């Protein structure tokens, strides 16, 4: 094995972020304050939303967003099985229960037709619609649903669909600003909406200090330190998207001729938060081969949610198949050309010389 692995993911930080953080530290005002207000206004403008409420994480944004929609005990929320467990935790925190839907085998996004059928049977109070790995879901289909939906942009801020920025769809949308997301502030999240009532509810739920204790509230605020870094990252986001697409194009051109791997959908709207190959055989075996060649790869999700809930694979065939064959390769703005070439060589070796 190579002495130094090409990392699977890595934050993209520079002098601008360092100076922004230092400015806040020197000010002595670290908690939620003017930087948070500016960050909220800038993300709202960037996504075309009227209101933005900064919170401590993407999971907190989902949780407070569900509560702001009136989701609670006795309700259920529709979500895909092929997604991270944050959605489960947010739904449980709201006192509701998840109902799972299979995904489209080409896009890995939730299957709109299956979701429509699920809604008619299970009558969920709301749905959460992620744009998986930076590939926009077709929001037009979800706009026609009989229930409100949360647009989950944890992997996709900076992308557009049908001429509109992601984050502008649904009753509300959420972002995550974890260190290695499209826009990384270290930690943080945001609720975005055009509904003043939803925005006010989320704002009231995120903090309890100085407010009456007649209802449950949370400590889910963002700090000015994270917001200042996030503001710099937001200005750099087009640069980040361009570099991810550049690396993805290198990969596409190399891998498209391989018979035992399938490249992700090469869509002009895709911003490649993850570059996910579909491999013949077990993903885990392919990942081990890449690591022996000095490249860290991962399964793109930890475990299908239906398996976490003890449900049968046969009920979610496309999710199950995706989990068995999907491999996430390194792709991020600080991936330099020599590292990208290492990834190319490692995949070539794993695919052509198993």
Asked if pLDDT for residue 14 goes beyond 70, the answer is yes
Summarize the confidence of residues 42-53 as an average pLDDT: 98
pLDDT category of residue 132 using cuts at 50, 70 and 90: very high
Which domain range does residue 148 map to? Answer: 15-233
Q: What tens digit of pLDDT does each residue of 263-312 get?
A: 999 889 999 999 999 999 899 999 999 999 999 999 999 999 999 999 99
Of all residues in the chain, what percent carry a pLDDT higher than 70? Answer: 99
| CATH number reported for the structural domain that contains residue 65 in this entry | 3.40.640.10
Summarize the confidence of residues 60-82 as an average pLDDT: 98
pLDDT category of residue 1 using cuts at 50, 70 and 90: very low
Burial annotation 76-101 (CB, 10 A radius, 16+ → b, else e)? bbbbbbbbbebbbebbebbebbbbbb
User: 336 and 250 in one domain?
Assistant: yes
User: 169 and 95 in one domain?
Assistant: yes
Summarize the confidence of residues 211-222 as an average pLDDT: 92
User: 241 and 223 in one domain?
Assistant: no
Final residue of a structural domain among 195, 215, 233: 233
Strands 172-176 and 149-152: parallel
Closest CA to 258 of 343, 347, 338: 347
d(CA 78, CA 288) in angstroms, rounded, equals 34
User: 276 and 137 in one domain?
Assistant: no
User: 300 and 250 in one domain?
Assistant: yes
User: 302 and 228 in one domain?
Assistant: no
Let me know if residue 140 belongs to a domain. yes
| CATH number reported for the structural domain that contains residue 245 in this entry | 3.90.1150.10
User: 325 and 212 in one domain?
Assistant: no
d(CA 257, CA 17) in angstroms, rounded, equals 40
Of all residues in the chain, what percent carry a pLDDT higher than 90? Answer: 93
User: 169 and 286 in one domain?
Assistant: no
d(CA 150, CA 172) in angstroms, rounded, equals 5
pLDDT value for 3:
58
Final residue of a structural domain among 207, 233, 259: 233
Final residue of a structural domain among 233, 257, 273: 233
User: 226 and 241 in one domain?
Assistant: no
Q: Give the CA radius of gyration of the chain.
A: 20
User: 246 and 193 in one domain?
Assistant: no
Summarize the confidence of residues 127-142 as an average pLDDT: 97
pLDDT value for 337:
96
Let me know if residue 5 belongs to a domain. no
Higher per-residue confidence, 1 vs 62? 62
> How much is the mean pLDDT over the chain?
96
Let me know if residue 246 belongs to a domain. yes
User: 227 and 252 in one domain?
Assistant: no
Structure tokens at 278: 């579909």
Let me know if residue 333 belongs to a domain. yes
Q: What tens digit of pLDDT does each residue of 150-196 get?
A: 999 999 999 999 999 999 999 999 999 999 999 999 999 999 999 99
Number of domains within the chain: 2
pTM for this entry? 0.96
User: 155 and 52 in one domain?
Assistant: yes
pLDDT value for 2:
46
Contact criterion met (CB below 8 Å) for 147 and 119: yes
Collect all residues with Cβ–Cβ distance below 8 Å to 70 and sequence separation of at least 6: 125
Q: What tens digit of pLDDT does each residue of 222-241 get?
A: 999 999 999 999 999 999 99
């Amino acid at each position: 094995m190579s002495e130094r692995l090409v990392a699977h993911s890595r934050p993209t930080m520079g002098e601008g972020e360092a100076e922004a953080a230092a400015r806040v530290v020197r000010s002595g005002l670290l908690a939620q304050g003017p930087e948070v207000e500016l960050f909220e206004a800038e993300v709202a403008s960037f996504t075309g939303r009227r209101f933005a409420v900064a919170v401590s994480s993407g999971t907190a944004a989902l949780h407070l967003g569900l509560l702001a929609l009136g989701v609670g005990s006795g309700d259920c929320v529709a979500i895909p099985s092929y997604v991270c467990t944050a959605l489960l935790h947010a739904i449980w925190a709201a006192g509701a229960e998840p109902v799972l839907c299979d995904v489209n085998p080409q896009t890995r996004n939730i299957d709109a037709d299956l979701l429509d059928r699920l809604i008619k049977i299970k009558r969920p109070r709301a749905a959460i619609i992620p744009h998986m790995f930076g590939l926009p879901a077709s929001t037009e289909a979800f706009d026609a649903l009989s229930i409100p939906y949360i647009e989950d942009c944890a992997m996709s801020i900076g992308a557009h669909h049908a001429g509109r920025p992601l984050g502008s769809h649904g009753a509300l949308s959420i972002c995550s600003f974890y260190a290695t997301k499209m826009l990384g502030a270290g930690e943080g999240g945001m609720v975005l909406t055009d509904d003043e009532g939803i925005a006010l509810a989320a704002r009231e739920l995120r903090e309890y200090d100085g407010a009456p204790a007649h209802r449950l509230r949370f400590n889910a605020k963002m700090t000015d330190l994270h917001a200042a870094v996030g503001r710099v990252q937001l200005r750099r986001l087009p640069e980040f998207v361009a570099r991810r697409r550049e690396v993805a194009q290198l990969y596409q051109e190399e891998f498209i001729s391989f018979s035992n791997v399938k490249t992700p959908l090469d869509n002009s709207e895709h911003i490649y938060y993850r570059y996910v190959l579909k491999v013949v055989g077990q993903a885990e075996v392919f990942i081990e081969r890449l690591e022996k060649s000095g490249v860290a790869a991962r399964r793109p999700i930890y475990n299908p949610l239906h398996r976490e809930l003890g449900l049968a694979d046969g009920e979610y065939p496309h999710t199950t198949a995706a989990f068995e064959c999907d491999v996430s390769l390194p792709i991020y703005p600080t991936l330099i050309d020599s590292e990208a070439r290492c990834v190319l060589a490692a995949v070539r070796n794993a695919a052509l010389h198993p």
